[in-house]
Chains A and B, each alone.
Chain A
Amino acid sequence: MLASEILSALLEHLWLVSISVGAAIAISAPVAVVLTGRAHLRRWTLGVVNVIQTIPSLALFGFLIPIPFIGGVGKRTTIIALTLYALLPILRNAVVGIMGVDAGVRESALAMGMTRTQILMKVELPLAFPTILAGVRIATVATIGTATIAAAIGGGGLGTFVFRGIAMADSKVILAGAIPAAVMAIAADEVLGWFERRVSFLS
C-alpha cells in the first residue's frame, strides 16, 4: 500500500537526517572548542567548510561515489555528504556562540579560580547554547531538504518518490515525497525554534 510505503520512507528520511545532524554536532563541538582559541586555524577551517557548502548537492553526491571506503552508492555515502553540509551552520554558530561570551564574564570566571574545563562546561557552553541550537536548527531544516536528493545515489528516504515521480512523469508521486518532506522541515523548525526560545530566556 502507498501509505505504508510513504511512512517507511518518512522514517528512513528522519533517520538519515538524525544520523547526519548528530554526526555533524559530534564533529563540530570539539572542533569549535579548539578553534575559539586559534584565530588562524579558525579562518582556514571555516573557509574549507564554507567551500564544501558551495558545492551543489547533486555534484557532491556524484563526487563521493567513486571514492573508495567512504564512497559508493547507498546510505553511507548519503550520510557522509549530509554530514558535510550540516557542518557549516553548526560549526560556525558554535564558534560564534563561544566567542561571543562577554569578556568580563570569562575574566571573572578565571579570577574566581575556575579551571579551563570548568569555564568551558559551566560558562561558555551554557551561554553559547542558544546560538549553537540555532545552528542545529538551520542545519536540520536544510538537511531535510537536501536528503531528498540522496535518493539519486540510492540513499532512500522521501526523495525516492520524488525521483520515481519524475521518471513516471506523475506529479502525484512527486508530491507523495515532497509534501511529507516539507511538513517534516516545518515541524523540525517549529520544535527546535520553540526549544531555542526556551533556553535563550534562561541566559
Chain B
Amino acid sequence: MSRLVEFRHVNFRIGTRTILEDVCLEVEEGETVVLLGRSGSGKTTLLKTVNRIVEPTGGSVWFEGKATSEWDAIQLRRRIGYVIQDAGLFPHNTVEQNVGLVPRLEGWGPARIEIRVRELLKMAGLAQEIYGTRYPRELSGGERQRVGIARALAADPPLLLLDEPFAALDPVTRYEMQQEFLRLRDSLKKTALFVTHDIREALLLGTRIALLKDGRLEIVARASEFESASTPEARAFLATLETHAGK
C-alpha cells in the first residue's frame, strides 16, 4: 500500500485565530479515514486543504507523492471527488448533466459521457429512465446525495472527500446511505476522507478515526481501538454512545 495523502505540520490561521495547528496525518490507499470532531474543531477546514479550497498558512499537504501547492489546482481537483452535505448539485442541470459534469470538463466525447453516466447512475442505485432527466429539486434528500456521490465518482478519482454528506438525512435514509457508501467503497476500492461529528458514523465507516479538538489532532486510532481510547475528547464522544446503550 502506498501513501495517497499526507498532512505535514498543517497550520491554518485567520488573523490571530488558529483554526488548525500542526496537523500531521497520513492516509494510505484504500483507507477510509474519518475526521471526527465537534463543530468548529477544524475538521472541514482540514478536509478542504486537500483540494485547495483552503490553502494552509503553514505546513504542506501531499497528494500522490506531490505537494498540493505543486499541483495545478484545477487538475488536482479533478482527481479528487468531493461530496458535501446538501450535495451541492447544480439546480439548473438535470441529474444526467450533474453526473456528467467532470467528464464534460475533461473534454470527453458525448458517447463516452453517456456510457459513463449510465454506469454511475446504476452504481448509485438510481434508475436512469426515472431519474436521468429530473432536476435536483425533484429529488428527495437521499436521492440527491446518491447523485452527489455519482458525480464525485464520475472521472474515477482515486480519492473521495466527504464533508458530513449524510448529516441532513433522516435516520433511516442515513443508515441506508452509510451501507451504500460501504458497498461502493469496497467494490471500487476508493480511498476516502470522511468528515463527521457523529461517532456512530465514524465507527461504522472508518478504517481509522482521527479526532480533532480545537484544531489539533487529539488521537488517531483504528476504528476497533477507538472505543478504548482514553483521551478526554474521545471519552466525551464515546459517552454519547453509552447513554444510549445504558437504557
Contact = CB atoms under 8 A, between A and B. Distances in A.
A127 B105 contact: no
Interface string B103-136: 0010000000000000000000000000000000
B195 to A, nearest CB: 13
User: What class of interface size applies to chain B in its complex with A?
Assistant: 20 to 34
B75 A113 contact: yes
A123 B105 contact: no
Contacts of A111: 51, 53, 77, 80, 82, 84, 161
Interface stretch (B61-69, B88-96, B176-184, B230-238): B88-96
Contacts of A118: 105
Contact of A112 (B87, B91, B105): B105
Given A111-B53, A111-B82, A105 B90 contact: yes
A202 interface: yes
Residue of A104, A107, A111 with highest tally of chain B CB at under 10 A: A111
Interface residues of A, number: 18
Given A110-B53, A112-B105, A112-B151, A105 B89 contact: yes
A118 B90 CA distance: 13
A114 B102 CA distance: 9
B74 interface: yes
B88 A104 contact: yes
A109 interface: yes
A32 B85 CA distance: 29
A126 interface: yes
Nearest to A104: B88
A126 B85 CA distance: 23
B77 A113 contact: yes
A113 B154 CA distance: 13
A8 interface: no
B92 A107 contact: no
B105 A104 contact: no
Contacts of A115: 74
Contact of B78 (A105, A108, A113, A202): A113
B74 A108 contact: no
B205 interface: no
A54 interface: no
A4 interface: no
B210 interface: no
B153 to A, nearest CB: 12
Contacts of A202: 92
A127 B53 contact: no
Residue of A108, A109, A113 with highest tally of chain B CB at under 10 A: A113
Given A123-B90, A127-B91, A112 B84 contact: no
Interface of B: 51, 53, 74-78, 80, 82, 84-92, 101-102, 105, 148, 151, 161
The 6 A-B pairs with the shortest beta carbon distances in the complex, nearest first, are A108-B88, A113-B77, A113-B78, A111-B82, A104-B88, A203-B92
